[in-house]
Structure 1
Amino acid sequence: MLFKSFVSASAVALALFASAPSFAADVYKLEPTHTSVTFQWTHFGFSHPSGKFMNAVGQVTLDEANPAKSSVEVSFAIDGMNTGVPALDTHLKGPEFFDAAKYPTATFKSTKVEPTGADTAKVTGDLTIHGVTKPVTLTVKLNKKAPHPMMKKDDAGFSATGQIKRSDFGIGAYVPNVSDEIDLFIEAESIKQ
């Protein structure tokens, strides 16, 4: 009788465990051809040029049960910068600015995710550029999370904005004529692993 009760209780426990929803966080890998980091500055007050990185690699961990436990890790090679002006690219990659030969990679690793709405959050993390690490907060919007119609895998797309001071990272040449403040515009798609 005791054995029969144990078997019945075990069967009930297994059935409950099997039917319980999974609350594990999902890992999404950045899809580089649809992920861009655009940076924009002011040039002597006359114009607002921009540059772009299309070579980001990394992952987003989405925890739907507890969004504050979500995270992101991204890196990109400075050598992949493109302003549309080859001479400017060479200048920006040189020792006066990014010094890509000495500091070839930029990274961002989140330290805090603060949900601000059903599909928005403030994401704070450590940004490392030019060998200097500083905290940065991005305003992030989840654009869509659904099966990708072509890849047949779950896709999550995001837009994010933020601002940094380049002098904070030791890249202060020509301030204030060339603005210290750099606006960031990030678009990302990520594929569930």
Structure 2
Amino acid sequence: MNQTFRSRPVLVLATTAAALSLSACAYDPATSAETVSSGPDLAGIPAGTYALDPAHGKITWSVSHLGFSTYTGQFPAVEATLQLDPAKLQNAKVTATIDLTEQGTLNEQLNGHLKTADFFDVENHPQARFVTTGVTVVDNDSATVDGELTLRGVTKPVRFTANFNKGAVNPLDKKFTLGFDGYATIKRSEFGVSYALPAVSDEVELHLEAEFKLQGES
């Protein structure tokens, strides 16, 4: 496929991590792997610092390619932390860092092109960063997350929707885990990525899947 397929997934990852994290603040899981509380019983979510599980956290981006197809790719290297106190959801804080030197398109030529100045310019901007600025609870299993995304040296506000999947003790590692899916749409041109417009769409749809693990547990 043409190298121009891909646009600006990096934003995604960062944004998503934050969104998921904030979403966690908005939900109320039980501490059992078998049951999860269905109501807004925030007391069921332990306060503390949560870290994104790299083995179960990914960002998938998609763009329109010439109107013929929807091309997708992923960011495979993301680190994120969530600081959460269920009693003070408005103070929840998510910080995410995306390693732009790692690209996941299953096309080595395209992976290399995405690292150039046409797209992410990793020589000068090897990372993207997302920091939350606020979270608004929509209902028991969804929230909107606002934050600032920095990509290629440009910082812009980003808002995404976070859906809560489950909160419980993971039966495999015995750690309390929060699971989310996050969705956002960004315009890559706002971050200085205008290569191949409008053949490759300006709008980039992001889908984040994430599991956050409570830290400090024995």
**TM-score of Structure 1 vs Structure 2, range by shorter chain:** 0.7 to 0.9
Match of 1:156 in 2: 178
Match of 2:156 in 1: 134
Q: How does 1:50-129 map to 2 (within 5 A)?
A: 50-129=72-151
The structural deviation recorded for 1:62 is: 2.6
Show CA shifts across 1:104-154 (max 9, x none).
Answer: 001110001011111211000001111111000010012111001111110
5+ unaligned residues in a row in structure 1: which ranges? 1-20
Q: How does 1:16-31 map to 2 (within 5 A)?
A: 25-31=47-53
* Superposition TM-score, scaled by structure 2 size: 0.76
158-167 vs 57-66, which deviates more? 57-66
Q: State the structure with more CA Rg.
A: 1
Say whether the 8 Å CA contact 1:33–1:54 is kept in structure 2.
no
Match of 1:185 in 2: 207
> Runs of at least 4 residues of structure 1 off by over 6 A?
none
Give the aligned length.
173
The structural deviation recorded for 1:61 is: 2.2
Per chain length, whose mean CA-contact separation is higher, i.e. which structure has more relative contact order (CA < 8 Å, sep 6+)?
A: 2
**Paired residue secondary structure (2:139):** coil
Distance, in Å, in 1 between the alignment partners of 2:163 and 2:91 is: 16
5+ unaligned residues in a row in structure 2: which ranges? 1-42
Matched, 1:33 2:55: yes
Of 43, 51, 68, which aligns to 1:46? 68
Code of the residue aligned with 1:147 in structure 2: it is V
Of 162, 166, 182, which aligns to 2:188? 166
Match of 1:9 in 2: none
Identical-pair percentage: 38
Root mean square deviation, CA, Å: 1.7
The structural deviation recorded for 1:24 is: 7.9
* Superposition TM-score, scaled by structure 1 size: 0.85
